[in-house]
Amino acid sequence: MKKIINQPSQVVDEMLKGFVYANDERVERVPETSVIVRKDKKKGEVALVSGGGSGHEPAHAGFVGDGMLTAAVSGEVFTSPSPDQVLEGIKAADQGAGVLLIIKNYTGDVMNFEMAKELAEAEGIEVEQLVVDDDIAVEDSTHTAGRRGVAGTVIVHKMLGAAAKRGLSLKEVKELGDKLVPNIKSIGVAMTAATVPEVGKPGFTLEENEMEYGVGIHSEPGYHRTSIKSSSEIATELVGKLKDAFEFGDNEHYGLLVNGLGATPLMEQYIFAHDVEKQLEHEPIKIEFKKVGNLMTSLDMNGVSLTLVKLQDDWADLWYDPVHVTDW
């Protein structure tokens, strides 16, 4: 394992210290917690709180600021934060208009955030929750814990952050989220697995000439392991999966996210984005907005994910509303 760290057990705390040092004009850390909160809180605005295990930077603390999240709560690497930490996040974020929790769909995250919601409600804070489950690599059925939450969560942060800034009520922001989430779908591919510092070796092994479609952001197994393909072939596979999931129709409008998983250079992400563009040229849909970059990573995983969001109403406007956060 080659990493620029000190003690593996201290990585989250030291990362948060560095994050605040670099961005202290915008954010601060709630003392004795793993909560990052924006400094310029807006009284009367609905607050958005997200978080989860660490290792997905810039998610979620990099999206704290005007127009996106009010606070982010970081757990240990790939481990949900505990309810008391999330409760601190809710209390720090509340601006008097209630708090919406944005949770990625993992059993641990959902339980810890739900308990925090109950604790906060007992303290008189109005809290709603929204669970994001955009990863179509996993079958959504009553026989599993359901689809996982991955890069599409960032779209939820952006759209709902804009809605909250426009002055929508907690109920309205939550309703918008309930409409938005089923319209977001993602699918990824990995060339290598992530190495958790405290474990010291990759979560699984892919040979030099292998890659795997559908791997999760904590190295959960995917749906197909194969020999290395070209960017163009990968785009064909991933766009094909999304096309089947959405059943593209005439004149539908979409937004698009190409997300680097941590160790894939931007050069390769742009090459892949161009191949996605070529694939989509044959489709009847219109792409309203695109974004390429590392948004929801998996430590040092080499790979990319592709996310599409099927747009309705004024969602594209929400996307283009200005934001002032560290990593947009």
- Does 112 participate in binding another protein (rule CB under 8 A)? yes
| Chain length of the chain | 328
Q: Are the CB atoms for 53 and 76 separated by under 8 Å?
A: yes
Candidate residues 30, 145, 271, 316; the one interacting with another protein per rule CB under 8 A: 145
- Does 108 participate in binding another protein (rule CB under 8 A)? yes
- Does 106 participate in binding another protein (rule CB under 8 A)? yes
Closest by Cα among 306, 313, 266 to 290 = 306
Candidate residues 23, 79, 183, 307; the one interacting with another protein per rule CB under 8 A: 79
Interaction mask 121-140, another protein, x per CB under 8 A: -----------------x--
Nearer to another protein, 148 or 310 (CB): 148
Nearest-approach distance from CB 82 to another protein, in angstroms? 5
Binders of another protein in range 245-264 (CB under 8 A):
none
Active site residue 253: no
What is the C-alpha to C-alpha distance for residues 327 and 63, in angstroms, rounded to an integer?
A: 6
Nearest-approach distance from CB 80 to another protein, in angstroms? 6
Active site residue 224: no
Other CB atoms within 10 Å distance of the CB of residue 103: 25
- Does 81 participate in binding another protein (rule CB under 8 A)? yes
Nearer to another protein, 84 or 178 (CB): 84
Nearer to another protein, 221 or 240 (CB): 221
- Does 32 participate in binding another protein (rule CB under 8 A)? no
- Does 80 participate in binding another protein (rule CB under 8 A)? yes
- Does 220 participate in binding another protein (rule CB under 8 A)? yes
What is the C-alpha to C-alpha distance for residues 270 and 51, in angstroms, rounded to an integer?
A: 28
244: number of CA atoms within 13 Å, CB side?
Answer: 8
Annotated active-site residue in 60, 157, 218, 274? 218
Candidate residues 6, 7, 10, 107; the one interacting with another protein per rule CB under 8 A: 107
Candidate residues 85, 183, 192, 259; the one interacting with another protein per rule CB under 8 A: 85
User: Per-residue b/e over 153-183, b at no fewer than 16 CB within 10 Å?
Assistant: bbbbbbbbbbbbbbebebeebbebbeebbeb
Candidate residues 44, 122, 142, 207; the one interacting with another protein per rule CB under 8 A: 142
Interface residues with another protein (CB under 8 A) are 75-76, 78-85, 106-108, 111-112, 114-115, 138, 142-145, 199, 218, 220-221
Q: Which residues are catalytic?
A: 56, 218
